[in-house]
């Protein structure tokens, strides 16, 4: 029998709500479509959807109980109902209660403008081999995702890894106070969401520094960025006794000294407090190597086995929307898709171009970039898009397709021979790209989430032909 994660009594104590009968749950869900039998379903109100409209579906899917603030749908007799005034506030209290009942948890919190999810996933992978480890399976990094991740925290977990993001100042503080990490990681600072910060990238850095506000023992910070000194000072002021720098900087405690790309990854050499560590990271690109340094720095800071973690990094792979590579087509007509469609900013764009530059097209194949708008860049957006021309040229990309009003400025800046096509939206560009690709090409698709570049990824995936003949089913976006 699966051990109960929550009982009705524990949830009542945590939330201040009341249940109509006794129940227990083995998990927590906020989505009736992915709910597992035995989960507690929390009905949250969003900007466009209200979970209260899906309570009946959750019960039908096997929810052991539902947390609601009001009754809207007729439910089967005997349904366990936990009534609260506000379901989001109750979920947050549930997360706080989960953290309070695991006082010995060795928690790591990860933030940064680029690489949060990749670093969190790699940390979760390497720590899980050493002891029971908890972490969100997706980018659950906001005011809903962090409480959900906490509410799902098993009492037997030894390690936990949390991703914490933000779009505005003040958003990280309440989340990190919930998590109370022993180790706080900042992957990097870059121009992302700068339209929400009058001080530009300096404002972004100050907001990321909120990850130190709950205190902790070790701060792991990218030593190569201009804001390192400010971030280290903020961490020290909040009581962090150890500041661990990682990067290529000679003063970094965990320093990159060698990087050799190989098939689908890289061989990495790093020094960690004077000793050389050699390992392989199973995803390509310098940015992945830098993420791996952050991972190993956090592993050491939390007291886990660094050498064992380094070996495990060979099993790291890029996930959907964040660099996953996949051959598409049939026989000699196959091309390679690099799916970077989840998000984008100027720094991550350049990192993706470097990965594309390392790719080896087949005979007559080309390196192709398909780019959508980078959003929330404020008044510098036009220049930041046009400035992508130089790294595209220098990394040897042969053809560039663009979509969106901001990417029109890049299209205009490109040499004529590199211009594939431009369209107002990803929907209009998808068919153009699908018709243009040919065998041997390597096609990288990238843009901010709001640019919906996943539609182009879907159009390319639809070109795949299984060995048995006929087209493969399209994957969901």
Q: How confident is the model at residue 469 (pLDDT cuts 50, 70, 90)?
A: very low
| CA dist list (Å): 144 to 50, 73, 88, 227, 244 | 14, 24, 7, 29, 30
Distance CA 184, CA 365 (A): 43
User: Residue 475 pLDDT more than 70?
Assistant: no
Residue-wise pLDDT for 186-225, tens only, equals: 999 987 666 777 778 899 999 999 999 999 999 999 999 9
| CA dist list (Å): 68 to 58, 63, 95, 150, 224 | 12, 13, 16, 19, 47
Please give the DSSP secondary-structure letter assigned to residue 171.
S
How large a percentage of the chain has pLDDT more than 90?
A: 80
Pairing of strands 335-340, 419-423: unpaired
The CATH code belonging to domain 6-89 is 3.40.1390.10
Pick the CATH number of 324-461 from 3.30.479.10, 3.30.830.10, 3.90.190.20, 2.40.10.10: 3.90.190.20
Query: Helix crossing, 201-208 with 228-237: angle to 10°?
Result: 30
Average predicted confidence (pLDDT) for the chain: 92
Q: Report the candidate in 278, 177, 271 with the shortest Cα–Cα distance to residue 223.
A: 271
- Which token pair is 351? 């990192």
Do 341 and 331 form a contact (C-beta atoms < 8 A)? no
More confident position, 451 or 469: 451
Residue-wise pLDDT for 244-276, tens only, equals: 999 999 999 999 999 998 878 899 999 998 899
Q: What pLDDT does residue 278 have?
A: 97
Evaluate the CA torsion angle 151, 153, 156, 160 in order and state its sign.
negative
Q: What is the mean pLDDT of residues 118-131?
A: 96
Q: How confident is the model at residue 300 (pLDDT cuts 50, 70, 90)?
A: very high
Q: What pLDDT does residue 333 have?
A: 83
Please give the DSSP secondary-structure letter assigned to residue 50.
B
Residue 22: which residues within 8 A CB-CB, separation 6 or more?
A: 7, 8, 9, 80
Q: Report the candidate in 412, 352, 341, 346 with the shortest Cα–Cα distance to residue 384.
A: 346
* pTM of the complete model: 0.84
User: Residue 476 pLDDT more than 80?
Assistant: no
Distance CA 153, CA 157 (A): 7
The topology under which CATH files domain 102-315 is 3.40.1190
Q: Report the candidate in 162, 6, 184 with the shortest Cα–Cα distance to residue 97.
A: 6
User: Residue 477 pLDDT more than 80?
Assistant: no
Residue-wise pLDDT for 306-335, tens only, equals: 999 999 999 998 877 888 889 998 777 899
CB atoms within 10 A of CB 315: 13
Helices (H), 344-406: 346-358, 381-386, 389-394
Q: What is the mean pLDDT of residues 131-158?
A: 94
Q: For the ranges 68-72, 423-427, 455-459, which has the lowest average pLDDT? A: 68-72
Q: What pLDDT does residue 468 have?
A: 43
Q: How far is CA 166 from the centre of its chain?
A: 12
- Which token pair is 292? 């791996």
- Which token pair is 367? 């390196």
Q: What pLDDT does residue 1 have?
A: 54
Distance CA 136, CA 102 (A): 17
Sheet holding 419-423, edge to edge: 324-328, 335-340, 442-446, 367-372, 399-403, 419-423
Q: Would you put residue 148 in left (φ > 0), alpha (ψ -120 to 50) or beta?
A: alpha
Q: What pLDDT does residue 472 have?
A: 34
State the Cα angle at 127 between 121 and 132, rounded to 5°: 110
3-class DSSP assignment, residue 259: strand
User: Residue 474 pLDDT more than 60?
Assistant: no
357-387 burial, b if ≥16 CB within 10 A, otherwise e? Answer: bbbebbeebbbbbbbbbbbbbeeebeebbbb
Q: How far is CA 473 from the centre of its chain?
A: 26
Q: What pLDDT does residue 194 have?
A: 67
Q: What pLDDT does residue 79 have?
A: 95
Q: What is the mean pLDDT of residues 139-162?
A: 95
User: Residue 304 pLDDT more than 70?
Assistant: yes
Q: What is the mean pLDDT of residues 32-59?
A: 94
Distance CA 295, CA 123 (A): 6
- Which token pair is 34? 């992915």
Residue-wise pLDDT for 74-114, tens only, equals: 889 999 999 999 999 999 999 999 999 999 999 999 999 88
- Which token pair is 469? 């003949």
Q: What pLDDT does residue 193 have?
A: 67
Q: What is the mean pLDDT of residues 348-366?
A: 92
How large a percentage of the chain has pLDDT more than 70?
A: 96
Residue-wise pLDDT for 387-445, tens only, equals: 999 999 999 999 999 999 999 999 999 999 999 999 999 999 999 999 999 999 999 99
Give domain limits for the chain.
6-89, 102-315, 324-461
CA neighbours within 13 Å on the CB side: how many for 170? Answer: 2
């Amino acid at each position: 029998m699966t051990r109960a994660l929550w009982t009705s009594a524990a949830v009542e104590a945590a939330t201040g709500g009341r249940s109509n009968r006794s129940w227990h749950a083995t998990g927590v869900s906020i989505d009736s479509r992915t709910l597992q039998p035995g989960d507690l379903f929390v009905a949250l109100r969003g900007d466009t959807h209200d979970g209260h409209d899906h309570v009946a579906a959750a019960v039908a899917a096997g929810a052991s109980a539902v947390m609601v603030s009001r009754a809207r749908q007729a439910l089967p007799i005997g349904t366990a109902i936990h009534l609260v005034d506000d379901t989001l506030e109750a979920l947050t209290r549930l997360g706080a209660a989960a953290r309070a009942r695991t006082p010995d948890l060795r928690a790591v919190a990860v933030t940064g403008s680029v690489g949060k999810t990749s670093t969190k996933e790699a940390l979760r992978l390497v720590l899980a081999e050493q002891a029971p480890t908890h972490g969100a399976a997706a980018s659950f990094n906001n005011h809903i995702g962090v409480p959900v991740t906490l509410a799902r925290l098993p009492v037997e977990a030894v390690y936990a890894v949390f991703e914490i993001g933000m779009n505005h100042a003040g958003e990280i503080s309440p989340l990190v106070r919930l998590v109370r990490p022993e180790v706080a990681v900042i992957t990097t600072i870059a121009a992302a969401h700068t339209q929400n910060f009058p001080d530009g990238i300096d404002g972004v850095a100050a907001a990321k520094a909120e990850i130190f506000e709950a205190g902790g023992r070790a701060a792991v910070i990218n030593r190569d960025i201009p804001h390192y000194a400010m971030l280290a000072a903020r961490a020290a002021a909040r009581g962090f006794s150890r500041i661990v720098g990682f990067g290529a900087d000679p003063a970094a405690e965990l320093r990159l000294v060698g990087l050799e790309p190989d098939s689908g990854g890289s061989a990495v050499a790093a020094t960690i407090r004077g000793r050389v560590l050699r390992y392989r990271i199973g995803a390509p690109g310098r940015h992945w190597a830098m993420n791996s340094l952050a991972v190993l720095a956090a592993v050491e800071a939390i007291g886990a086995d660094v050498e064992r973690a380094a070996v495990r990094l060979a099993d790291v792979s890029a996930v959907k929307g964040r660099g996953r590579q996949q051959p598409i087509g049939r026989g000699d007509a196959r091309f390679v898709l690099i799916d970077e469609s989840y998000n984008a900013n100027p720094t991550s764009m350049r990192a993706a171009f470097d990965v594309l530059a390392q790719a080896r097209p087949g005979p007559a194949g080309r390196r192709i970039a398909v780019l959508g708008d980078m959003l929330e860049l404020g008044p510098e957006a036009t220049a930041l898009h046009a400035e992508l021309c130089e790294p595209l040229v220098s990394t040897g990309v042969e053809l560039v397709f663009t979509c969106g009003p901001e990417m029109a400025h890049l299209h205009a800046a490109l040499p004529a021979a590199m211009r594939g096509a431009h369209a107002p939206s990803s929907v209009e560009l998808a068919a153009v790209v699908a018709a243009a690709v040919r065998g041997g090409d390597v096609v990288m698709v990238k843009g901010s989430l709001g640019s919906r570049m996943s539609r182009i990824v879907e159009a390319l995936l639809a070109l795949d032909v299984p060995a048995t003949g006929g087209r493969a089913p399209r994957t969901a976006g």
